[in-house]
Amino acid sequence: MAFTSVQKIRFDDVDGAGIVYYPQYFHLCHKAFEDFFDQADGVSYPQLINELRRGFPTVAIRSEFSAPLRYGDIAAVSLSVKKIGRASATFNYRIHRKQDSELCFSASITLVFMDLERHQVLPIPDDIRRLFESIGQDL
């Protein structure tokens, strides 16, 4: 069971050719991650960052671009858990054009849980681990 966030492609997402500029795909993925976190019971992602000073910086990315997204398209960004380790988690992302369900982008992104004040890696807390487990494995 993947989590899906629906996002409209805005003018500032595209380049001069009128297609989504490649770094924006990673931004769409991160927005979906925040949406997933925020929809769950418990701490929101802004609370995690701003109040608890914990976060999930990215440590590895593998990605593939398969079709363009254009200004005005609606993107369905799905994420699922690939692996949960002691202090890291890897998520699979798939971005489809909602209008025709064409796969436009896929990525595997590994995040590490850390103390943002000390820049120290920490074990993923049980409540966050359960949250990640709630969306199931792989897409």
- The answer to whether residue 23 sits within a structural domain is yes
What does the H/E/C string look like for 111-122?
A: EECEECCCCEEC
Domain count, the chain: 1
Instruction: Give residue 138's pLDDT.
Output: 61
Domain range holding 46?
3-133
Q: What is the model's pLDDT at position 19?
A: 96
pTM: 0.93
Q: Give the pLDDT means over successive 10-residue stretches in the chain (139 positions).
A: 93 96 97 92 89 97 98 97 97 97 98 98 95 78
- State residue 25's pLDDT score: 98
Q: Exposed (0-12), middle (13-18) or buried (19+): which is 1, by Cβ within 10 Å?
A: exposed
Task: Indicate which CATH number applies to the domain containing 64.
Answer: 3.10.129.10
Give the pLDDT of residue 43: 81
- How far from each other are the two terminal CA atoms of the chain, in whole angstroms? 8
| 139 falls within a domain | no
Residue 108: predicted pLDDT: 98
Residue 138 belongs to a domain = no
Sorted by sequence, the CB contacts under 8 Å of residue 17 that are 6+ apart come out as none
Q: What is the CA radius of gyration of the chain?
A: 15
Give residue 71's identity as a one-letter amino acid code.
Y
